[in-house]
Amino acid sequence: MADFFQNTLHDHFNYWVYVILMMIGLWAVIAKNNFIKKLIGLSIFQTAIILFYVSIGVKVDASIPILHHHEEPAAHAEGHDKGHKADYAVGEKDDSAPAAHDNHDSHESQESHGDHDHHADAHAVNPDLIANPLPHVLMLTAIVVGVATLGVALALSQRIYKEFGTLEESELLEQLKGGNVDG
C-alpha cells in the first residue's frame, strides 16, 4: 500500500491531475448541449495538455531555463569573479581554471570566429539543474494559438446564434432537420 502511494500517487500525481482535467474537458465536449459550454470543455482539455507538457519538463531542484547573467562564460572575459559562477548551476567548480584559460584564449584571438567552440567546452552548464526548455517553447506558442482559435470558435458561435437564434445543439439539429435553414 505504501508502495502504491509512493509510486502511483507521489511520483505520478502530475499525470493524475492532467488525466482528470482532460476527462472533465472531454465530458463537457461530449455531454453538454450548449456550444459555449462545449468550448469551455475544449479549453479545459487544452489546459490539461499544457499542464502535461510543462510537467514533463520539470526536473527536481532545477532552475528555470534562463541562464544567469553573470554566469555565462562570455561574461567572464577577465575570469576573476569565480563567486558568481559558484552560486549558479554551473557544473564543477574545478572548471573555473580551464574556463578562465579558454576565455583568455578567445579574448586574445577575437578576430578568429572560432571562440564558439571554446564556449562549448568552457560552458559546463549542468543540464540536470536547468528545466527542459523544449516543452515551454511548444506550450508558449500553443497557448497563444489556442486563444486565437478560441476566438474563431466564439465568432462561429455568435454567427450561429445570429442565424438560428440558439446555441443549443439539440434545438439546432431540429431546426436543420425541419428545413428551416434560413433562420
Residues that bind another protein (CB under 8 A): 8, 10-16, 19-20, 22-23, 26-27, 30-31, 55-60, 62, 64-69, 72, 74, 110, 113, 115-116, 119-120, 123, 125, 127-128, 130, 132-137, 140-141, 143-145, 147-149, 151-152, 154-156, 158-159, 162
CB nearer to another protein: pick between 128 and 179: 128
CB nearer to another protein: pick between 8 and 180: 8
CB nearer to another protein: pick between 126 and 180: 126
CB nearer to another protein: pick between 67 and 82: 67
> Least separation, in Å, of the C-beta of 140 and another protein?
6
Instruction: Compute, in degrees rounded to 10, the torsion defined by CA atoms 69, 73, 75, 79.
Output: 130
> Least separation, in Å, of the C-beta of 95 and another protein?
13
Phi, psi of 124 (to 5 degrees): 55, 40
Instruction: Kindly report the number of other CB atoms within 10 A of residue 45's CB atom.
Output: 19
CA atoms 114, 116, 117, 123: torsion sign: positive
Alpha-carbon span 36 to 44, nearest angstrom: 12
Alpha-carbon span 152 to 148, nearest angstrom: 7
> Least separation, in Å, of the C-beta of 73 and another protein?
8
Residues 6+ positions from 34 with CB-CB distance below 8 Å: 167, 168, 169
Contact 18, 52 (CB under 8 A): yes
> Least separation, in Å, of the C-beta of 42 and another protein?
14
CB nearer to another protein: pick between 121 and 179: 121
